Structure 1
């Protein structure tokens, strides 16, 4: 996959290094000369340009990219990059970094954003996930489908122990996608049963999260 990353600061470079290691073609776009350091991710293509300028993105070949990641430290820039990527270059998948949580409401399809990644929200969700039992914790918002990735941990003495997955009366717009049990990652089949301590991951519409709790007896 060909992936463009706008912003070659610490975050952008780290993402690029991970993606290159996974075998992807990565292009880093950076305006600031101080952050233009090709030696830090040598396998990536580096372009010194303003990612908010349409002509610069055309010259860089953004139209050939499958994914664009707006990873600068400026939310305004990330929104502009996202909008240009989606509307001018028809990029299939646009991921944008949210630096200020108060701006999160802007990072929607209207601005070309498929997935908004807010570090404060993720950290908060991970803390909740680690300490909360029996309640729904939202881990990530998937903007393109207006759905969320949510988690609920069953208490050790859950009455659902031994209950088969196919007997759960989940709401229509919710799907159990993974059961985390000890060191195992289980893709559930209808006949799999639940156990105390299981972490259940669902993809669900925001308005049915309470119904998930109810289906699990909370």
Structure 2
């Protein structure tokens, strides 16, 4: 896979290092000569240029890239790079860094962004994920399809404990991606039973998150006729 990264700061370099170690081709683009550190990542390609300019992206042969990562410290630059990558060069996957949470609303498919990564939101989500049981935690937003990667730790007192994945009537537009149990990563087959304190990771449409949280809540149970109700009813 060929990946172009706009922005060769700490974030861009860290991404490039991981990708190179995984056997991918990486091109780093930055207009600041002090950031062109070839000796640090000798197996990467380097381009001293402004990634917001068409001529620079032509030189980078962006049309050959499978993924573009807009990782500069400037949200305006990241939006411009994303839009050009998608509309002018048809890059299949565009990932953009959000530096300021107030700008998050702009990072969507209209600006060519497939996946937007907000560091403040990610950090707060990881804090919530570490301490929350029974509450839905949004880990990552996907721009296309209005979907999020969400996590929920199954409470001890939910009626779903002991049922199998295939027995649960999951909401539409949600997909159980994996189950994390005691340090193990499990593939959620229909026969897999759910256990208390399982960490369930879903890709879910934003409109289905409330329904998904309600389904997994300890405040609901499945009656004999299959309808859910409240313990207080």
TM-score computed with the length of structure 2 as normaliser: 0.91
Question: Is contact 1:158–1:195 with CA below 8 Å preserved after alignment?
Answer: no
Structure 2 Cα separation of the partners of residues 86 and 181 of structure 1: 38
- Summarize the alignment of residues 20-35 of structure 1 with structure 2, pairs less than 5 Å apart: 20-35=20-35
Deviations 1:95-126 (A, max 9, x none): 00000010000101000000000000000000
The whole-number CA distance in structure 1 between the counterparts of 2:20 and 2:67 is 14
Contact 2:152 2:200 in 1 (8 A): yes
Aligned residues: 218
Match status 1:109 vs 2:131: no
Distance 2:213 2:89 in 1: 41
Contact 1:168/1:215 (8 A) holds in 2:
no
Matched, 1:124 2:108: no
TM-aligned CA distance change 1:171 to 1:157, over 3 Å: closer
- The structure 1 segments of at least 4 consecutive aligned residues displaced by more than 3 Å after TM superposition are 156-159
Q: Which residue of 1 aligns with 2:70?
A: 70
Q: CA deviation at 1:157?
A: 4.2
> Secondary structure at 2:178's aligned position in 1?
strand
Decide whether the 8 Å contact of 1:176 with 1:200 is kept in 2: yes
Give 1 or 2: higher helix fraction.
Answer: 1
1:24 deviation in Å? 0.3
Q: Which runs of 5 or more residues in structure 1 are unaligned?
A: none
Question: What are the Cα deviations for residues 152-203 of structure 1, in whole angstroms up to 9, with x where unaligned?
Answer: 1012344322111112121111111111000111111111111111001111
Indicate the residue corresponding to 1:54 in structure 2. 54
Q: Residue in 2 aligned with 1:133?
A: 133
8 Å CA contact 1:168, 1:216 repeated in 2: no
User: CA RMSD for the aligned pairs?
Assistant: 1.0
Whether the 8 Å contact between 1:171 and 1:212 is mirrored in structure 2 is yes
Distance in 2, Cα, partners of 1:176 & 1:9: 35
Paired residue for 1:87?
Answer: 87
Greater CA drift, 90-99 or 184-193: 184-193
Task: Give the TM-score, by structure 1 length.
Answer: 0.97
What pairs with 1:172-183 in structure 2 (closer than 5 Å)?
172-183=172-183
